[in-house]
Amino acid sequence: MKTYGMRAAMVAALSLSMALPAVAAPVKPNYPKAIGKGEGELNIVAWEGYAQDDWIKPFEKESGCHVNRKYAGSSDEMVALMRSGGGGQYDLVSASGDATLRLIYGGDVQPLDVKLIPAWKDFLPNLQSPPYNTLKGLHYGLSYEWGPNVLMWNADKIKEAPTSWSAIYDKTYAGKITVPDNPIQIADAALYLMKTKPALGITNPYELTQKQLDAAVVLLKEQRPLIKKYWALASDEIELFKNGDAVIGAAWPYQTNALKADKVNVMDTVPSEGATGWADSWMLSAKSKHVMCAYKFLNYVSSPKVQAQQAIYFGETPANPKACSEMDKIEAGSCEKYHLNAPASYYKQIHFWQTPLPTCTNGKRDCTSYGDWQKAWQRVKG
């Protein structure tokens, strides 16, 4: 009897593992009735600069939820982390728009009840239910902050401020250029080609046909000999600029702020071609063990004060326009500097990160997938 039971259990376990869903699907809602007592712990995956002590420590004190932070350098890494160990190792992730759909369709995140997050009603209208975090009226993500990928340079070495992305594609600064080590960087090249080679017919830098992708790869391969290093972490780029190895490159405003704080004379701009950028959302793991702490955190980071602190620390724009006065309180004029006073026109300049999909928006299946981009990026890097 005993051995039979054992064997049955083994067979059951085996067949269960074989029957693991080959096709994942978005998770159904499982809302808590109310935000109750915290579980004492919260594990988050965030961008560097997204979980600073300035606002995490007060949250820990106020909520009793100890926050364990894990920084990720790319959207791909965030997706991989949220799936590591079968999911559920991390509760929240600050995913950008090129990761959100992968997480939703991968069944890795669960819908959020925005009724439990009152500040959501105050958010900018196009960030309340954007297509990259809201599916059929279900909010899989809560918008957080957004901003452009900028062109940054060392103003001591480059006197005349560059105004075009051509600065990182031509030979003027050969051997002193750095760009992110990230397949989504292909979109930056595509954006540049969209303006400089209209004959290619690129309309959206994230929807490239094979021919357009090949053209972007050619441009990036020409750029490669000019590159000092492809940076993997923001701290890498900061070190490159500090030690004089790089004088110009693609960056996040975070690096500009960090370098300025270190007395390195850097400047940044959104060049004339426009810029790629990110719109981040906090997403809750489908297997989270600390849902109460997560909701407390979501409420906390949606508050005008924290949105303002985050925006100024990283150099980006909050989703909650009520943060405007708080921003000016921390740094006079910062609300205008980050365009929170007129967000609509600024929002249009930025081509926000999306997941490249094989099916283009026009329904044709001739676009290249993110897998194609990853392979192309390896070819570029060599």
Partner 1 sequence: MAHAVSGTGRAGRLGSLLWRRPGLSLAGLVLPPVAWMGLIYIAALAVLFIAAFWSVDDFTGEIVRNWTFANFQEVATSPIYQKIALRTVAMAALVTLTDAILAFPMAYFMARIAGPRLRLALITAVVLPLWSSYLARVYAWRLILAHDGVLNWALRGLGLPGAEIGYTNTAMWIVFSYIWLPFMIMPVYAALERIPANYFEASQDLGGRGMRTFLKVVLPLSMPGLVAGSIFTFSLTLGDYITPVLVGGPGSDFIGNVVYANVGVANNIPFAAAYATVPLVLMAVYLWLARRVGAFDVM
Which residue from 69, 70, 195, 229 is in contact with partner 1, where contact means CB under 8 A? 229
Scanning the structure block, which residue is given the tokens 């490239």? Answer: 208
Give the closest residue to 124 by CA, choosing from 318, 326, 339, 309.
318
Question: Which C-beta is closer to partner 1: that of 52 or that of 374?
Answer: 374
Pick from 253, 285, 355, 367 the residue near partner 1 by CB under 8 A: 355
Binding of partner 1 at residue 80 (CB under 8 A)? Answer: yes
Q: Does 371 bind partner 1 (CB under 8 A)?
A: yes
CB atoms within 10 A of CB 47: 24
Of the candidate spans 47-55, 202-210, 243-251, 340-348, the one that interacts with partner 1 by CB under 8 A turns out to be 243-251
Assess 244 for contact with partner 1 (CB under 8 A).
yes
Contacting partner 1 within 307-346 (CB under 8 A)? none
In single-letter form, the type of residue at position 155 comes to A
Write the CB contacts of 189 (distance below 8 Å, at least 6 apart in sequence). 216, 219, 220, 223
Distance of CA 105 to the CA centre of its chain: 17
Would you say 279 and 178 are in contact if contact means Cβ atoms under 8 Å apart?
no
| Residue range at the interface with partner 1 (CB under 8 A); choices 47-55, 75-83, 256-264, 313-321 | 75-83
User: Interacting stretch for partner 1, rule CB under 8 A, among 20-28, 42-50, 269-277, 305-313?
Assistant: 20-28
CA distance 100 to 79: 9
* 357 binds partner 1 per the rule CB under 8 A: yes
Closest separation in Å from C-beta 45 to partner 1: 13
The residue from 89, 126, 164, 374 that contacts partner 1 (CB under 8 A) is: 374
Residue number, 105 or 346, with CB nearest to partner 1: 105
Which helix (H) or strand (E) segment is 314 a member of? helix 304-314
Q: 74 or 317, CB closer to partner 1?
A: 74
For residue 278, give both structure tokens: 């990110």
Which residue number, 146 or 231, has a Cβ lying nearer to partner 1? 231
Taking CB under 8 A as the binding criterion, the range among 227-235, 256-264, 325-333, 345-353 that sits at the site for partner 1 is: 227-235
What does the alpha-carbon distance between residue 111 and residue 321 come to, in Å, rounded to a whole number?
Answer: 24
Binder to partner 1 among 175, 201, 203, 349 (CB under 8 A)? 175
CA dist., res. 192 & res. 173, Å (int): 18
Minimum CB distance to partner 1 smaller for 272 or for 378: 378
Q: Tell me which DSSP letter residue 162 carries.
A: P
d(CA 71, CA 370): 22
Q: Is 227 in the site for partner 1 (CB under 8 A)?
A: yes
Work out whether 230 is an interface residue with partner 1 (CB under 8 A).
Answer: yes
Which amino acid does the sequence have at 14? L
Residues pairing with 85 in the sheet: none
Under rule CB under 8 A, which residues in 24-43 are in contact with partner 1? 24
The end-to-end CA distance of the chain, in Å, is: 60
Q: Select the residue interacting with partner 1 from 358, 361, 364, 366 (CB under 8 A).
A: 358
Cα-Cα-Cα-Cα torsion 311, 44, 258, 151, nearest 10 degrees, comes to: -70
Considering only 79, 294, 308, 311, the residue that binds partner 1 (CB under 8 A) is 79
Binding-site size, partner 1 (CB under 8 A): 38
Binding of residue 264 to partner 1 (CB under 8 A): no
